[in-house]
Amino acid sequence: MTTHQFLTSAWEANPLVIALCVVVLVIYGWRIRFSARSGFLIAGLVLSALVLVSPVDALANGYLFSAHMLQHLVLLLVVPPLILLSLGGSSVVKRLAGRAISPMAILTCWLAGLGAMWIWHVPSLCSAATQSPAIHRVQYVSLLAMGTMFWWPILAPRREQRISPFAGIAYLFSACLGCTVLGIILTFAPLGACPAYLSPSDRLGILALIRDGWGFTPEKDQQLGGLLMWVPACMVYLAGIISQLVRWYGESAEEPGEVPIRVLLERMS
């Protein structure tokens, strides 16, 4: 099979995924109503669908550790913030009760985000998820759920529940550190971080393409997976930190006669 053939044929329209996306869209449109910020929701749903039905998913299912890593990073670090951003400020959310978030809750959310990463990279759990479809679904759901928990203190729909930008920077930076350490371990660890990927069963007949055509040996594959978790993931946290800084400085500066930046930011997020 050639790369082009693979890319055009390996899409698997998973009915469960499509159905869920539609359901989410319907509930959102009915309860929260569409507005400019729904763009975030669309982006989030499109990304999750892409990552779950496109060739990336085919590769992640037992062929390439790095593809599985890409999938997970998107589901844990990119989709949840987009979903949360789409919820902010809407009238429904305002009506929900909300108090300021407690330190214990903040710690729990932080541990959820980091825990999701570390737990699923225990070699036995990683292999189990790759080989058993049921555990695999649990994995997906857990990533989305724990990702949402992680981003809650930063992007909670109700502003009272968000932590101060100063604390947000510390929160994101420490999480970045935890992610980086795991990425470093995976990049330099000897083969076998996720044993199921060492000798994939060739359901789609593309093993030759991967090994010879693209040059992906198991070592390179694991190294790439580690690097993805190390560098690009860090960029996501960095973007979060920059947005906290923008919010922090923007909150403080006001020029008379202009719409306060604070209000602008509020409208945007």
Partner 1 sequence: MSESIAKVPHDESLEHGLLGWVGTIDHKRIGILYLVTTLGFFLIGGVEALLIRIQLARPENNFLSPEVYNQIFTMHGTTMIFLVVMPALIGFANYFIPLMIGARDMAFPRLNAMSYWLLLFGGLLLHFSLVAGGAPSAGWFTYAPLSETPFSSTKGTDYWVLALLVMGVGSVASAINIIATVLTLRAPGLTIRRLPLFVWMVFVNSILIILAMPALNASIVMLLIDRQLDAHFFLPANGGSALIWQHFFWTFGHPEVYIMALPAFGMISEVIPVFSRKPIFGYEFVAASTVAISILSFGVWAHHMFAVGLGYQGNLFFAASSMLIAIPTGVKIFNWIATMWGGSIRFTTAMLFAMAFLVEFVIGGLSGVMFAVAPIDWALTDSYFVVAHFHYVLFGGTLFAMMAGTYYWFPKMSGRMLSEKWGRVQFLLLLVGFNMTFFVQHFLGMMGMPRRVFTYPDLPYWGALNMISTVGAFIMGAGMLVLVGNIVMSLLRGERAGDNPWNAWTLEWATTSPPPEHNFDRVPPVQGRRPLWDLANPDKADWKFKKVEGGDPSFGKNRTCMFSFLVSEAVFFIMLILSYLYFNSGKFGGPTASSSLDAFKTGIYTICLLASSFTIWLAEKYHHRKQFAAFRGWLVVTILLGVVFMAGQGAEYVGLFDRGITVSTNLFATSFFTLTGFHGLHVCVGLVALAILLGLAMARDGAKMIAPALGTIGLYWHFVDVVWIVVFSVVYLKILS
What does the binding site for partner 1 look like in residue numbers (CB under 8 A)? 122, 164, 166-167, 169, 173, 176, 180-181, 184-185, 187-190, 220, 223-224, 227, 230-231, 234, 238, 241-242, 245-246, 248-256
Closest CA to 82 of 110, 48, 115: 48
Shortest reach from residue 142's CB to partner 1, in Å: 19
How far is residue 265's CA from residue 247's CA, in Å, rounded to a whole number?
Answer: 7
Nearest distance, CB of residue 11 and partner 1, angstroms: 27
Residue closer to partner 1 by CB (options 190, 205) is: 190
Q: How far is the CB of 22 from partner 1 (least distance, A)?
A: 37
* Nearest distance from C-beta of residue 217 to partner 1, angstroms: 11
Give residue for tokens 């090994």. 211
The residue among 37 and 220 lying less far from partner 1, judged by its C-beta, is 220
Q: Which is nearer to partner 1, 98 or 260 (CB)?
A: 260
Least Cβ distance, residue 133 to partner 1 (angstroms): 26
Q: 58 or 163: whose CB is closer to partner 1?
A: 163
Q: Whole-number minimum distance, CB 252 to partner 1, in Å? A: 4
Question: How far is it, in rounded angstroms, from Cα 236 to Cα 84?
Answer: 15
Residue nearer to partner 1 on the CB measure, 81 or 178: 178
Containing 44, the helix (H) or strand (E) segment is helix 38-53
Q: Which C-beta is closer to partner 1: that of 202 or that of 254?
A: 254
Question: Per residue in 52-69, is it b (16+ CB within 10 Å) or e — as a string?
Answer: bbbbbbbbbbbbbbbbbb
| Backbone dihedral angles phi then psi of residue 258, each to the nearest 5 degrees | -105, 160
Query: Both tokens of residue 163?
Result: 């932590």
Q: How far is the CB of 243 from partner 1 (least distance, A)?
A: 10
Q: Which is nearer to partner 1, 145 or 261 (CB)?
A: 261
Q: Following DSSP, what letter does each residue of 108-150 receive, concatenated?
A: HHHHHHHHHHHHTTSHHHHHHHHH-HHHHHHHHHHHHHHHHHH
Reported as type and span, the H/E element at residue 233 is helix 218-252
State phi, psi for 11 to the nearest 5 degrees.
-85, 130
